[in-house]
Amino acid sequence: MLELNVNGTVHRVEVEPDTPLLWVLREQLGLTGTKYGCGVAQCGACTVLVDGQATRSCSFPVEAAVGQPITTIEAIETHPVGAKVVEAWVTAQAPQCGYCQSGQVMAATALLATTPKPTPEDVQAAMTNICRCGTYNAVAHAITLAGEQL
């Protein structure tokens, strides 16, 4: 039995300790806003915040998350920076198919929480998520918009 603090709530889960956090979120906790894309920390669709750090949950064993606050896309609008990111995403109309965007929003939230006025190089370093719809320019624009509100 593991105890997880997800979005401010403590959950007890019965699961193999090496199970990736992604699958505990999706299958045990029903939080399907976090997406499976590649399973090998390449694409970033599974990005969540673990103690504020953008983390690829597909390759992060759940046991390593015990004792740390986990924030997923489901709680993003209660996050002071995340709420601004979402508004900017809507204004910029960043998503197309949307599948990668949970991870993009989480990665941008982690970036802007520490670096409210990121340089293009900061964005490049933090936003390595793959978007097959090619929304990279719209996402960059949204990050700029969100930064203006911080």
Partner 1 sequence: MEGPLAAAFSAAMPAGRPVNVSRRGMFAAAGAGLFLGLAIPGRAPRAQGAPPGAALRHAGKVTAYLRIAPDGKIHLQNPFVEGGQGIDSAVAQIVAEELDAPPADFIVTCAPPGEDFRVMQGGNARFTGGSFSVRSSFAHFRTLGAAARAMLIEAAAERLALPAASLSTEPGRVIHTESGRAIPYGELAMAAAALTPPDNPPLRDPTTYRFIGRPLPRFDVRAKSTGKITYAIDVKVDGMLLAAVVHAPRAGAQPAAVTNEAALRAMPGVHSVHRLPGAVAVVADTWWRAKTAVAQAQIAWQALQGPVMDADFTAETMLGRLKAAAGTHGNTAEEAGDAAVALTTAARVIEAEYDAPYLAHAQMEPPSATARFNADGTLDVWVPNQAPDFFQASAARAAGIEAAKIRIHSPPLGGFFGRHFAYGAANAHPQAILLAKATSRPVKVIWSREEEFARDAYRPLSYATFRAGLDASGDIVAFQAAGYGEGPITRHFGAARLGNPPIDGSIMEGLTGKPYRFATKRVEFIPVPHPPGVNLGFWRSVGHSMNDFFFESFLDEVAAATGRDPYEMRLALVAHSERHKALLNAVAGLSGGWRRGPYDAPDGTRRARGVAMASPFGSEVATIAEVSVSDGEVMVHDLWVAIDPGRVVNPRTIEEQVQSAAAIGLSSALFEEIGFERGEVTTRNFDTYRVLRRDRMPRVRVAIIESGAPMGGVGEPGTPGVPPAVANAVFALTGQRLRSMPFGRTRLSGA
Residues at the contact surface with partner 1, assessed by CB under 8 A:
16, 19-20, 23, 27-28, 30, 32-40, 42-43, 45, 72-74, 76-77, 86, 89-90, 93-102, 105, 123-124, 127-140
132 SS3 class = coil
The least distance separating partner 1 from the CB of residue 93, rounded to whole angstroms, comes to 5
29 or 113: CB nearest partner 1? 29
The least distance separating partner 1 from the CB of residue 17, rounded to whole angstroms, comes to 12
Find, among 44, 54, 37, 19, the residue nearest to 4 by Cα: 19
The end-to-end CA distance of the chain, in Å, is 40
8 A C-beta contact, residue 51 and residue 71: no
The least distance separating partner 1 from the CB of residue 84, rounded to whole angstroms, comes to 12
User: Could you give the C-alpha distances from 39 to 10, 45, 46, 58, 128, in angstroms and in order?
Assistant: 25, 9, 9, 5, 15
23 or 113: CB nearest partner 1? 23
The DSSP symbol for 76 reads G
The least distance separating partner 1 from the CB of residue 92, rounded to whole angstroms, comes to 9
113 or 129: CB nearest partner 1? 129
